[in-house]
A = this chain, B = another copy of it.
């Protein structure tokens, strides 16, 4: 499948590598291609800068956000929480009619660590994005784990933990769930419409505190029932 990924950070790169390995045609979209290729520092996990990474993933291409959005039959929002709405609004035309997998969280680091959220409780970033893109099928998922677990949940307890999806379009959710299954997710709960993004985004406040308490981001919840 042709898949566009909006973002050029560690999350975008991690997902791109996995999708490429699964045989998809992946195009990463960044605001300024030249500036992104000019970065030489390692990423937050000590991985190579994107330019070097791209050399070892020759089938993955880097382009503008509009080009990546136009390329994808399915597009993944791997922008930061604060960057998501303006970034997505700028490619609304290219995203019309398509599935947008929203993995972002409305994290607010302005008040220090651990983060709070820029929107919560009676609204969510997922819903804000859906309102900004009324012709796009927004599916919220993967925002509850770190990038490495997103694409390879079997790294933790053989994959015996839970991923939640929500969104307003059943067919879009089914397509995204197939992708999750390809990643290795075995327990996927479809919670219903996109208002449920309030729940999964608010959980991330607990996630951030568990990250601090456990000292590792390699954890997830299993919904035991």
Contacts and interface: CB of A to CB of B under 8 A. Distances in A.
Interface of A: 111, 116-117, 120-122, 156-157, 160-161, 189-192, 196, 198-200, 202-203, 205-210, 212-214, 216, 218-225
A124 to B, nearest CB: 10
A121 B123 CA distance: 13
Contact of A189 (B116, B122, B200, B210): B210
23 contacts: A116-B122, A116-B198, A120-B120, A120-B202, A157-B224, A161-B224, A189-B210, A191-B209, A192-B212, A192-B213, A196-B209, A196-B213, A198-B205, A199-B205, A199-B206, A199-B207, A202-B202, A202-B203, A203-B203, A216-B225, A218-B225, A221-B221, A222-B222
A225 B215 CA distance: 10
A203 B223 CA distance: 12
B210 A219 contact: no
